Amino acid sequence: MAMFAKDDLKATELTLGLPGCARGNKRALANDTNEEPKSTNNTTPDAKKFSNDDRENAPPTKAQVVGWPPVRSYRKNCFQAKKTNAEAEASGIYVKVSMDGAPYLRKMDLKVYKGYPELLKALEDMFKFKVGQYCERQGYNGSEFVPTYEDKDGDWMLVGDVPWEMFISSCNKLRIMKGSEARGLGCAV
Amino acid sequence: MLRMASSFPEEVLEHVFSFIQSDADRNSISMVCKSWYEIERWCRRRIFVGNCYAVSPRMVIRRFPDVRSIELKGKPHFADFNLVPEGWGGYVDPWISAMAMAYPWLEEIRLKRMVVTDESLELIAKSFKNFKALVLSSCEGFSTDGLAAIAANCRNLRELDLRESDVDDLSGHWLSHFPDTYTSLVSLDISCLGSEMSFTALERLVGRCPNLRSLRLNRTVPIEKLANLLRQAPQLVELGTGAYSAELRPEVFSNLAGALSGCKELKSLSGFWEAVPAYLPAVYSICPGLTSLNLSYAAIQSPHLIKLLSHCPKLQRLWVLDYIEDVGLEALAASCKDLRELRVFPSDPFVAEPNVSLTEQGLVSVSGGCPKLHSVLYFCRQMSNAALTTIARNRPNFTCFRLCIIEPRTPDYLTLGPLDAGFGAIVEHCKDLRRLSVSGLLTDRAFEYIGTYAKKLEMLSLAFAGDSDLGLHHVLSGCENLRKLEIRDCPFGDKALLANAAKLETMRSLWMSSCMVSYGACKLLGQKMPRLNVEVIDERGPPDTRPESCPVEKLYIYRSVAGPRFDMPGFVWTMDEDSSALRLS
């Protein structure tokens, strides 16, 4: 627990560089770690890089075709992310969430969310801010707030680059960056 | 012959006609002669309108002045998969307004894929004194306020069924609007609602309605409360549970099991959200009489499913998730010899890798072991021509065969070739096939088979299939009984469509999205076929801002005697006779 406290102080320290600068900005490499979906979807002209209908602003976790497979929306919400072993369902993935300028941190259970849109909405509700529009190339546009997370390597990554499952298994903590620091991370290198 | 027809008094003919309920027969009667047409139209009580834009309310009312029951369908089927943009249409308000004045004795309204408003619901509640049944299937646009109006005013209401509708659920309070004097409820389906409702109000409602036969609860009704409800309604024939999960507590379990065993008429079970295996045995006592079981919301693994199904020898309909796996379907084939309909839904449709051990083998087992099986919806990740041929030979009595191989254009996993021969076997052997959905890698050859053999086919769904216009041509020219054709992401263009334009007037509708039909061809079709509404749906903006040869995003063509509609949103254009894109707004 003491370890976490130390890290938090570090996060609020005044620095001139971007977080994670000491180890170089890993964001440029994030795309390499994206899993390419094992399907013929990407090679066909008909494959569209649209997300699922109910994730309009979300970064796509794989190239999904609108309305395919033909499953009604109310079914999709039911069983996605259902785990078959009871232990997995019982234990949550609780991570600390900080926002630049907020007096105290919060804790969230990442298992509760089925994907990025839900998580981002929850963050927006919790801290009363609006996140910008995500695009793969440039990160979040249109807001001074940028959601980031610390991964298992200790690097600060942009939320949304990697597939959801990979994200929740590698996320140590979340940080909503604000202001000039955020802009630095959010823009294309 | 004329003399014979007019020598029968009208009352006698009317009485004879009253025994004839089927629409097709009624239509035939009305064409015998003018006097039969007149007599028949005055005594037709039930109307079915398969496409709400095919005819206008005014025309229906003018011909049939005394209707008691009406069924209307709105959006095309592919709206279920979000292919029809929001705001496309399907509004029921004009129908309700017209009928409120013309049919004061209207008893039943059944709607599918239509946009319903609270205003309409309030109008229904006020206008029809003997209103008995409201079925809103996959509808949207209304809230629980509208439901409150229905509950408060429809004293003779028997059926309120909201299946799969998207309701603006403001609160569960609407249920309390049923007055204490109201006792005529027979069927209630509120499974699509999200809010918690006053359990006391629900219990009292159930308790005072002795004719209640069908009760489908929503997810918020906890399993602990189910037993009390059942004790109030032991005469139930159909039950949809709420969330079927809790920590295993012996007293809750035995209370539930006891209450269920008291429901001796129970034939159908559904609900089972978040079901846990521990509580499944509570239903064992009624399983021997069960004919319909919907476990498609329950993430239950195959061993538990096998055990449950072994208690259900009379099962006719099963809806289940692919957690049942091949081994479970094999057990199903052995236990449930009376099975008529099977639907296997995917538990994780968006991953390419299989998450369960469900393959073509499961379907082969069931088709082999269940002699009465005639309707199938099956999601899987691999298929072979050999399996399809075996299935077709085992089960020539299929009337509805819908196969969805999750990855588009998946070939036969054994030969790596197209699945043409397999689907060819299906249409060749299953001579009574009325509905077919194909998937996997398919060439024009598959459509040649369909056109050649599927003579009784009425509805066909295609996706990511075919090579050229020839494919579409085979279907349109060969399938004599085709009524509904829906196509997405197929390389079909202008030639087949224009060559078979006349065929389109014999069908209810044609949907094509992400195909290769040009704007020019749409205009031509609209021009040449005045009795078709050719609607171009394109969210990129007006089609005449692009070259004529540019393919349209989506196309919906349907026959209509009402002419073009005037309630279209900004992204829909009707191709009119004067060869301009018509849109009045």
Q: Where are chain A's structural domains? A: 94-181
Report yes or no: A71 and A101 within 8 Å, Cβ to Cβ.
no
How far apart are the C-alpha atoms of B233 and B213, rounded to whole Å? 8
Label residue B100 by pLDDT band (50, 70, 90): very high
Evaluate if residue A10 carries a pLDDT over 80.
Answer: no
Cβ neighbours of residue B386 under 8 Å, at least 6 residues apart?
Answer: B412, B414, B422
Q: What is the C-alpha R_g of chain B?
A: 26
How high is the pLDDT of residue A165?
A: 82
Cβ contacts of residue B201 below 8 Å, gap of 6+?
Answer: B175, B176, B178
pLDDT tens track for B159-192: 999 999 999 988 889 999 999 999 999 999 999 9
- A-proximal residues of B, 213-252, CB under 8 Å: none
Of the ranges A104-108, A136-140, B52-56, B572-576, which is most confident?
B52-56
**Distance between CA atoms of A172 and B294, rounded to whole angstroms?**
40
State which fold the A94-181 domain adopts.
Ubiquitin-like (UB roll) (3.10.20)
- Assign B239 a pLDDT band (cuts: 50, 70, 90): very high
Residues 6+ apart with CB under 8 A from A108: A94, A95, A97, A122, A123, A126, A174
Q: Does B163 touch chain A (CB under 8 A)?
A: no
Contact B90, B114 (CB under 8 A): yes
Task: For residue B433, count CB atoms less than 10 angstroms from its CB and return exposed for 0-12, middle for 13-18, buried for 19 or more.
Answer: buried
Per-residue pLDDT of B28-60, as tens digits, reads 999 999 999 999 999 999 999 999 999 999 999
Q: Using CA coordinates, name the residue in chain A closest to B323.
A: A84
Q: Which residues of A touch B488 (CB under 8 A)?
A: 67
Residues 6+ apart with CB under 8 A from B105: B66, B68, B128, B129, B130
Tell me the per-residue pLDDT of B8-22, one tens digit each, with 9 for 90 and over: 788 999 999 999 989
- Look at residue B4 in the predicted model and tell me its pLDDT: 56
Task: Report helix angle B93-102 to B118-127, nearest 10.
Answer: 10
At residue B3 the predicted structure's pLDDT band, cuts being 50, 70 and 90, is low
Flag if B349 and A40 touch (Cβ within 8 Å). Answer: no
> Taking CA atoms, what residue in A is nearest to B166?
A74
Put simply, whether the predicted model's pTM sits higher than 0.95 gets the answer: no
Residue of B nearest to A85 (CA): B301
Determine contact, residues B252/B228, Cβ cutoff 8 Å.
Answer: no
pLDDT of residue B352: 81
Q: What pLDDT score does B191 carry?
A: 96
**B273 contacts in chain A (CB < 8 Å):** 78
Q: Which two tokens stand for residue A26?
A: 């890993």
CB–CB contact B489 A70 (8 Å): no
The total of other beta-carbon atoms located within 10 Å of residue A144's CB is 17
Confidence of residue A137 (pLDDT cuts 50, 70, 90): confident
Reported as a single tens digit per residue, the pLDDT across B396-440 is 999 999 999 999 999 999 999 999 999 999 999 999 999 999 999
The minimum CA-CA distance between B489 and chain A, rounded to whole Å, is 7
Separation between Cα atoms, residue B412 and residue B544, nearest integer Å = 42
Q: How many Cα atoms sit within 13 Å of B277 on the Cβ side?
A: 13
- What pLDDT is recorded for position A45? 41
A-B C-beta contacts closer than 8 Å: 74
pLDDT of residue A7: 46
Q: Compare B513 and A63 and report the one with higher pLDDT.
A: B513
Query: Which of A61, A75, A82 comes nearest B345 by C-beta?
Result: A75
Q: pLDDT grade, residue A9 (50/70/90)?
A: low
- pLDDT above 90 for A16: no
Query: Across the strands, what pairs with B239?
Result: B215, B269
A4-21: average pLDDT: 49
> Regarding predicted confidence, which is higher, B577 or A69?
A69
Residue contact B352–A53, C-beta within 8 A: no
The half-sphere exposure of B570 on its side-chain side, counting CA atoms within 13 A, is 3
pLDDT > 70: percent of chain B: 97
| Nearest chain A residue (CA) to B407 | A39
Chain-wide mean pLDDT for chain B? 95
What SS3 state is found at B513?
A: strand
DSSP character at residue B286 = G
What's the 3-state SS for B86-131? CCCCCECHHHHHHHHHHCCCCCEEEEECCECCHHHHHHHHHHCCCC
Which residues is B70 bridged to in the sheet? B47, B109
Tokens of B572: 């829909």
Q: Predicted confidence band at A53 (pLDDT cuts at 50, 70, 90)? A: very low
pLDDT tens-digit series, residues B291-332: 999 999 999 999 999 999 999 999 999 999 999 999 999 999
* B84 touches B64 (CB < 8 A): no
pLDDT per position as a tens digit, B547-567: 999 999 999 999 999 999 999
Determine how many CB atoms are found less than 10 A away from the CB of residue B44.
22
**Candidates A53, A61, A78, A165, partner chain B, best to mutate (most B CBs within 10 A):** A78
Average pLDDT over residues A73-86: 59
Integer Cα distance of A69 and B68 in angstroms: 39
Residues B559-581 have a mean pLDDT of: 87
Q: How many whole angstroms separate alpha carbon B347 and alpha carbon A78? A: 9
CB contact under 8 A, A72 and B379: no
Cβ B81–A76 below 8 Å, yes or no? no
Chain A residue with CA closest to B463: the answer is A68
The yes-or-no verdict on residue A163 having pLDDT over 90 is no
- What residue in B sits closest to A70 (Cα-Cα)? B81
pLDDT, residue B9, reads 87
Query: Residues B491-540: pLDDT tens digits?
Result: 999 999 999 999 999 999 999 999 999 999 999 999 999 999 999 999 99
Q: Is the pLDDT of residue B349 over 70?
A: yes
Please report which confidence band the pLDDT of residue A87 belongs to, taking 50, 70 and 90 as the band edges.
very low
Task: Mark out chain A residues that contact chain B at CB-CB < 8 A.
Answer: 37-41, 44, 46, 52-53, 61-62, 64-76, 78-80, 82, 84
